[in-house]
Amino acid sequence: MMHILYLLLSGMDLVVAVALIYIITIQESKNDGLQGQIGSKTTSSFKGKAGKDEQLNELTKKVAGVFFALLIIISMLGKFS
């Protein structure tokens, strides 16, 4: 039973990993070079509905959280098998 659950969660983690890679690659880069990567954060100046970039950013955070949560569960199952 644990082996089947382990394989199922591993398959789910693979699908989530591919989704995470896809979401990251469709995002547009706002800043080029090293200076844009360190410490600068671009924010929109209006308070309204989130734009495409903000929505993709939030989706990336959520999918990454699911990815790491699945990794933790899989590693714990691997200890007990």
What residue ranges do the domains of the chain occupy?
Answer: 1-25+51-81
Whether 75 shows a pLDDT value over 90: the answer reads yes
Quote the percentage of the chain above a pLDDT of 90. Answer: 56
CB 26 within 8 A of CB 56: yes
- Mean predicted confidence (pLDDT) in 39-62: 77
Report whether pLDDT(22) > 80.
yes
User: Nearest CA to 54 among 79, 76, 19, 28?
Assistant: 28
Q: Is the pLDDT of residue 40 over 80?
A: no
> Given this model, what pLDDT does residue 26 score?
92
**Full-prediction pTM beyond 0.85?**
no
Average pLDDT (14-23) is 97
